[in-house]
Amino acid sequence: MIFFYILASMATFLHPPILSRFLPDFVAFKALGAICFVYAIFYWCSRSTAPRFLSSRQSHLLLLLYAIVFASCLTGGNFLVFFIYTDFIFLLFVTVCVVDSLRRISWVLFSAVAGLAYGSVHVVLEWIHFRHIYSGYRAGLSVGDGNYFTTSAVLCLPFALLAVLHGKRLWKRMFYGGCLAVSLLGVAVCASRGGFLALAAAFLFLIARTEHRVRNLLLISVVVLPLALFLPISPLQRLLHPNRIDASNSHNRIMAWKAGARMIADHPVLGVGVGNFKSLMPQYADKGTTTDTIAHNTYIEVAAELGLPSLLVFLAIPFFSYRSLEKARQRAEIAGREFPYYAALGLQAGLVGYMVGAFFLSAEYQKLFWLAIMLSMCLPSLVRARRKRQGAVPDADVTSIPLFAESPQS
């Protein structure tokens, strides 16, 4: 199981900091995945109950999307993308098979947050090293890309915040607090504007689910705004005071979106073929536009490559994942079980933020996003929905949910 936790900790990166020193990135991830797959086979044989791989709608939709991608490859799409989706199918099998307890979900989330913090240390050190050499330097090369790193971080940070506020063990609260602090600093020096908007959406979602909204808004603002306002490079600074490069990047994104819209208009049902956006962009872009680029918008890219019906399939996956997490959250609230309550809520906030960030990035292949989708398949069945008897002694992991619970009047 330790290898699955390592895989979860590396899911934030395009280039895992340690493994990349010894193996190419794709080999490192595939080697970890292969070890996890073998372990899952042996673990399946030892389980007393069979894993329910297709118990959720999002699992059915993922298989449908997989079939659509395969069909697109047969009609001119890029088979490399098919292999990427094959990895996601293996991740579905492994996750549902081995993550069969709340304790394991807890350690998967722990590993993801720890990996994010480790990557953030690399990002901060990179920024400190290069900021004196390049004025306005944006960090992120040490982990692959600052934009993707930030958007993946959005999936972890809401849970980390809830773990700080609700953790029952002091060492875990201190650990999550340290991870949250260094990760926010790492996100700040990556200076991703889309990632910042995604993080704002995730935290605002959390605030909307709280009883003391004003207090919690002030708490989050005190943590986030100083980093955004006072660092020499930050996403908020780039939003408020864009320089020439920022303006050029924004222009190129808009041109890519226009090219994607033309692809969708020409091929609304089947798309231009999965993985073909970048190669076909010169045919659809305005003259004088940088054409060697991706869509920089997940929804436009999926619709352009696979068609509008496939976009609906893709969007339905996080939608039903959110629904599953809501079911888990409600069951946990009824049972008074704190960890699954804030785990579900944190993952919900992460998905909301990620879907905002995906508007500014081609993020449909992010490993941490798909891991969150898989966890949404596991969590509801692991929460035993039972009402506590009045006056009964609570279980060891049952506590009140005061800070981020919904108001009784809501």
pLDDT digits (tens, 9 = 90+) for 135-145: 667 777 878 78
CB 84 within 8 A of CB 370: no
Quote the pLDDT of residue 211: 74
**Cα angle for residues 99, 103, 109 (degrees, 5° grid):** 75
CA distance 308 to 89: 22
CA distance 67 to 26: 23
Q: Residue 392: which residues within 8 A CB-CB, separation 6 or more?
A: none
pLDDT tier, 6 (very low <50, low <70, confident <90, very high otherwise)? confident
Percent of the chain with pLDDT over 70: 87
pLDDT tier, 337 (very low <50, low <70, confident <90, very high otherwise)? confident
pLDDT digits (tens, 9 = 90+) for 91-122: 999 999 999 888 999 999 999 999 999 988 98
CA distance 245 to 222: 30
Whole-number Cα distances in Å, 62 to 69, 165, 326: 10, 34, 19
In 130-160, which positions are buried (b, 16+ CB within 10 angstroms) versus exposed (e)? Answer: ebeeeeebbbbebbbbbbbbbbbbbbbbbbb
Average pLDDT along the chain: 83
CA distance 12 to 15: 9
What backbone torsions phi and psi does residue 337 show, to the nearest 5 degrees? -95, 115
Q: Please give the average per-residue pLDDT across 164-174, as a whole number.
A: 85
CA distance 207 to 396: 28
CB 303 within 8 A of CB 311: yes
Using alpha carbons, select from 369, 355, 332 the residue that is nearest to residue 162.
332
CA 289 to chain centre: 31
Residue 17 pLDDT exceeds 80? no
Residue 401 pLDDT exceeds 60? no
Q: Residue 344: which residues within 8 A CB-CB, separation 6 or more?
A: 325, 326, 328, 329, 332, 379, 383
Q: Residue 395: which residues within 8 A CB-CB, separation 6 or more?
A: 337
**Three-class DSSP category at 320:** helix
Residue ranges per domain, the chain? 2-242+296-382
For the beta carbon of residue 405, count every other beta carbon within 10 angstroms.
Answer: 17
CB 381 within 8 A of CB 52: yes
**Amino acid type, 366:** Q
CB 274 within 8 A of CB 301: no
For the beta carbon of residue 177, count every other beta carbon within 10 angstroms.
Answer: 16
Using alpha carbons, select from 99, 88, 42 the residue that is nearest to residue 62.
88
